[in-house]
Amino acid sequence: MTTESTPVPSPAAVPPGAPVELTGAEGVVRSLEMLGITDVFGLPGGAILPVYDPLLDSKKLRHILVRHEQGAGHAAEGYASSSGKLGVAIATSGPGATNLVTAIADAHMDSVPMLAITGQVFSNLMGTDAFQEADIVGITMPVTKHSFLVKRAEDIPATIAAAVHIATTGRPGPVLVDITKDAQQAKFSFRWPPKVDLPGYRPITKAHGKQVAAAAQLFAEAKRPVLYVGGGVIRSHASDELLALAELTNAPVVTTLMARGAFPDSHQQHLGMPGMHGTVPAVISLQEADLLVVLGARFDDRVTGKAALFAPNAKVVHVDIDPAEISKIRTADVPIVGDLKDVLVDLAAAYRDAIASEKPDLDEWWATLDGLRSEFPLGYTEPSDGLLAPQYVIERIGELTGPEGVYAAGVGQHQMWAAQFIKYERPNSWLNSGGAGTMGYAVPAAMGAKVAEPDRVVWAIDGDGCFQMTNQELATCTLNKIPIKVAVINNSSLGMVRQWQTLFYDGRYSNTDLNTGHDTVRIPDFVTLAEAYGALGIRVTKKEEVDAAIKLALETNDRPVVIDFVVSADAMVWPMVPQGVSNSYIQYARDHSPAFSEED
């Protein structure tokens, strides 16, 4: 933890040297190098142009030129989420900077460590509505951990070092550094490491021992405990510690959308994903629990349904590194602020002390849950229109690729199916826009993941709607030899919106038909589009073609691959708890309808 006036060490292990006369722009590049950054995504423009000149000479930084600044932001997110390292995006002022805002907001919601560097107009022109001027610091203040404005060249190294520290410590998140053009052009005396003063920033990492002991005592006394696991476990690299605690306590585990892969799907104690489209055992386990041990989760409305009716009989132990999350939605009986990687170790030790020599008997609880697993397995029905079942396509992608792959999803039905039907055995293998729900996330995020993890197979599982928002980054992938695989789950519609129209608007399909998958109309034709970008384009319309197409994609590593899977528009995501109702909706249907299935 950095304290006031503490020098920030260089991960690159470059010893401090004598001051060097540099421009502010050169100081940006040198600071990134000294901090161990190796890859950046960006797009130049007038206000950031001074930085791009020394960037050309850098031997340590690989710059990947994107086709849209939003792509740079999502690529930085995918880079960070797949590797655990910091993602970096660079843009110019005005529209260049505002094009980053969606990705910055996305990173903020999902706690992704990201550094955004933007150029700003000359400081004497700020506030005059100068060409391509935008108050990006003010715009991003609500969706960053912090936003800096730099007007002096000599402040650049310390500001970038502070930004990296803030982005990667405590609860990770995006930090923006906006640098005026005159600060980039001015000369100053560069010295490393700089002094960083952050007197108001002191993230708590070590939990209070009495709180941990109180949590362990509740755990030892519980008859129906559940480990409710959120994305914080992945961000804190605490999957091994979670596994140890789960096996020690024999408690069931549910992993939220952001936590898929934090606990192995194949493990007997895993009940699946909870929430609106969660498994029946996971949803009902939370509703019937007498103790929730909440680990790095934030009681998102997609998990809780109507919050006032969520887990009505459960006491709550809430562990999070961000004190603002604790008791924000559900009051915690035992609040614990700290880094999960350390807290889980302490909680396991305290649990051993609390149970003495006899472990709690959870056999009755497990009998109930195992009965639910047997009665309500996750499944789907074959479409009646003769088109592909999207669930089958996604399931086969996961099975043929395996758990060592990385899967980035867009937002909508295909996102939920990818969360449900691919088996995740390790952290950082599932990338998605969980909090913001950003269409267009998948392709650039997969691109960033492939840059960070070049030896892994990386899939972008996208919808035909999402794909059309950022597919220009296929050009970036082709030119930079980033051979991602793209599966377009093409139902010729905005699928999740259409599903809601089917269920709640009497099938009135207002503006959800995209005309991308019809036999006579394909606008655009995704195979032709892929080929125009230098990618391999494949179309699949029959079940017997699915495996061959996936295998061809896996064998093709000299360019990106796009597979247009033409699937049924009538396929829906099940189970489903309607928005704004209690999760007991599923519980009630299960108890009162002998014909209840996951498709009711």
**Domain membership flag for residue 348:** yes
**Domain membership flag for residue 381:** no
Which residues have C-beta within 8 Å of that of residue 63, sequence separation ≥ 6?
Answer: 40, 41, 42, 55, 90
Whether residues 169 and 217 fall in one domain:
no
Pairing, β 195-196 against β 6-7: antiparallel
Q: What percent of the chain has pLDDT over 90?
A: 90
Q: Are 462 and 446 in contact (CB under 8 A)?
A: no
Confidence of residue 586 (pLDDT cuts 50, 70, 90): low
Q: Is 599 exposed, middle or buried (0-12, 13-18, 19+ CB in 10 A)?
A: exposed
Q: What is the pLDDT of residue 358?
A: 83
Residue in the block written with tokens 């350390």: 342
Q: What is the DSSP letter of 15?
A: P
Say which of 4, 60, 131, 599 is annotated catalytic. 131
Does residue 559 register a pLDDT over 60? yes
Confidence of residue 589 (pLDDT cuts 50, 70, 90): low
Q: What is the pLDDT of residue 13?
A: 39
Q: Are 90 and 118 in contact (CB under 8 A)?
A: yes
CA atoms lying within 13 Å on the CB side of residue 123: 13
Confidence of residue 17 (pLDDT cuts 50, 70, 90): low
**Domain membership flag for residue 308:** yes
**Domain membership flag for residue 586:** no
Whether residues 508 and 363 fall in one domain:
no
Does residue 493 register a pLDDT over 60? yes
pLDDT tens digits for range 27-85: 999 999 999 999 999 999 999 999 999 999 999 999 999 999 999 999 999 999 999 99
* Residue-wise DSSP of 366-424: HHHHHHHHHHS-------SSSSBPHHHHHHHHHHHH-TTSEEEE-SSHHHHHHHHHS--
What is the gyration radius of the CA atoms in the chain, in angstroms? 25
- Amino acid letter, 147: S
- Amino acid letter, 347: L
**Domain membership flag for residue 121:** yes
pLDDT tens digits for range 401-423: 999 999 999 999 999 999 999 99
Does residue 7 register a pLDDT over 50? no
Q: What is the pLDDT of residue 372?
A: 96
* Residue-wise DSSP of 328-373: SSS--SEEEES-HHHHHHHHHHHHHHHHTT-----HHHHHHHHHHH
pLDDT tens digits for range 298-315: 999 989 999 999 999 999
Distance CA 434, CA 560 (A): 25
Confidence of residue 99 (pLDDT cuts 50, 70, 90): very high
Distance CA 64, CA 363 (A): 54
Say which of 26, 34, 148, 181 is annotated catalytic. 181
* 459: CATH: 3.40.50.970
Whether residues 240 and 157 fall in one domain:
no
pLDDT tens digits for range 246-288: 999 999 999 999 999 999 999 999 999 999 999 999 999 999 9
Say which of 33, 34, 41, 69 is annotated catalytic. 69
Whether residues 97 and 41 fall in one domain:
yes
Q: At what angle do helices 280-288 and 584-592 cross, to 10 degrees?
A: 100
**Domain membership flag for residue 323:** yes
The tokens of 595 are what?
Answer: 């014909």
Q: What is the pLDDT of residue 127?
A: 97
- Amino acid letter, 315: K
- Amino acid letter, 576: M
* Structural domains counted in the chain: 3
pLDDT tens digits for range 336-382: 999 999 999 999 999 999 998 788 999 999 999 999 999 999 999 99
Q: What is the pLDDT of residue 595?
A: 37
Distance CA 20, CA 213 (A): 53
If one counts every other C-beta atom within 10 angstroms of the C-beta of residue 209, the result is 10
- In sequence order, the β-bridge partners of residue 374 are none
Coil, helix or strand at residue 565: strand
The tokens of 279 are what?
Answer: 């498994």
Domain that holds residue 73: 6-196
Confidence of residue 590 (pLDDT cuts 50, 70, 90): low
The tokens of 431 are what?
Answer: 């990338």
Distance CA 464, CA 568 (A): 12
Coil, helix or strand at residue 318: strand
Whether residues 440 and 518 fall in one domain:
yes
Does residue 8 register a pLDDT over 60? no
Coil, helix or strand at residue 226: strand
Q: Give helix then strand counts, H and E, for the chain.
A: 24, 22
| Among 196, 225, 242, residue at a domain's last position | 196
Whether residues 299 and 222 fall in one domain:
yes
The mean pLDDT of 109-128, rounded to a whole number, is: 98
Does residue 10 register a pLDDT over 70? no
| Among 161, 196, 231, residue at a domain's last position | 196
Does residue 568 register a pLDDT over 70? yes
Q: What percent of the chain has pLDDT over 70?
A: 94
Whether residues 137 and 253 fall in one domain:
no
User: What mean pLDDT is reported for the chain?
Assistant: 94
Q: What is the pLDDT of residue 521?
A: 83
- In sequence order, the β-bridge partners of residue 160 are none
The mean pLDDT of 424-445, rounded to a whole number, is: 98
**Ramachandran bin of 527, using left for φ above 0, alpha for ψ from -120 to 50, beta for the remaining angles:** alpha
Whether residues 122 and 266 fall in one domain:
no
The mean pLDDT of 143-170, rounded to a whole number, is: 98
| Among 196, 228, 254, residue at a domain's last position | 196
Whether residues 108 and 130 fall in one domain:
yes
Whether residues 312 and 268 fall in one domain:
yes
Whether residues 258 and 336 fall in one domain:
yes
69 is catalytic: yes
pLDDT tens digits for range 198-246: 999 999 999 999 999 999 999 999 999 999 999 999 999 999 999 999 9
Does residue 5 register a pLDDT over 90? no
Q: What is the pLDDT of residue 600?
A: 41
Q: What is the pLDDT of residue 592?
A: 41
Q: What is the pLDDT of residue 42?
A: 98
Say which of 85, 122, 132, 328 is annotated catalytic. 132
Coil, helix or strand at residue 104: helix
496 is catalytic: yes
Q: What is the pLDDT of residue 596?
A: 43
421 is catalytic: no
Say which of 273, 496, 572, 576 is annotated catalytic. 496
**Domain membership flag for residue 594:** no
CA atoms lying within 13 Å on the CB side of residue 153: 22
Whether residues 408 and 358 fall in one domain:
no
**Domain membership flag for residue 380:** no
Confidence of residue 535 (pLDDT cuts 50, 70, 90): very high
- In sequence order, the β-bridge partners of residue 317 are 293, 334
